[in-house]
Amino acid sequence: MPISVAPPPDGWLARVVIRHLVKTDLPALEWEGEYRHFRRLYTDIYQGYSQGRAVMWVAELPGSGLIGQLFVQLDSSRTELADGIARAYIYGFRIKPAYRGFGLGTSMMQIVEGDLLRRNFWWVCLNVNRENKSAMKLYEKLGYRVVAAEPGRWTYIDDQGKRQEVCEPAWRMEKQLVWSTASK
């Protein structure tokens, strides 16, 4: 059954602030409980962010709160995803349903890619659920290409302390970043 979503307010996109996450934003990442099960995961990502191994981005609409989130892993034991030198990995990219399809995702990706270039990263990759056609369309529009199939198996400890296993078959996509006047 499709979820009914109220349309965003007029002129909202011009008021959105895309910024680095601050610690007090962590509870808002749960989106009124929808992602509460990721509470410990968000805290772990924040720890890596505090240590310079990750970057956490949010899109905030004043008066409405966080409406988007995106995380970047700068290094990983899986160097084909992030090597800490030239390759970074984007994940956890979400836009609240009412705000999708208006250009916010494109804006967030462009800001993140510009930031990665300033950090001297030349490649970025991400995994996209094989069933998520709208995300595939966005990434392809932004210049990403499929380079491998991913089994999408991973685990996390939920907010109740239980290990959860996830299986989300995905496509790994990547893009070589290039300098432009917009990224300088």
Q: Residue 108 CB: number of other CB atoms within 10 A?
A: 21
Of residues 170 and 179, more confidently modeled: 170
State residue 1's pLDDT score.
41
Residue type, position 65, single letter: G
Per residue in 80-112, pLDDT (tens digit) is: 999 999 999 999 999 999 999 999 999 999 999
For 102-157, how does the pLDDT look when each residue is reduced to its tens digit (9 = 90+)?
A: 999 999 999 999 999 999 999 999 999 999 999 999 999 999 999 999 999 999 99
Calculate mean pLDDT across residues 36-52. Answer: 97
Domain covering 12-176: architecture = 3-Layer(aba) Sandwich (3.40)
| pLDDT for 7 beyond 80 | no
The whole-angstrom separation of Cα 94 and Cα 99 is: 10
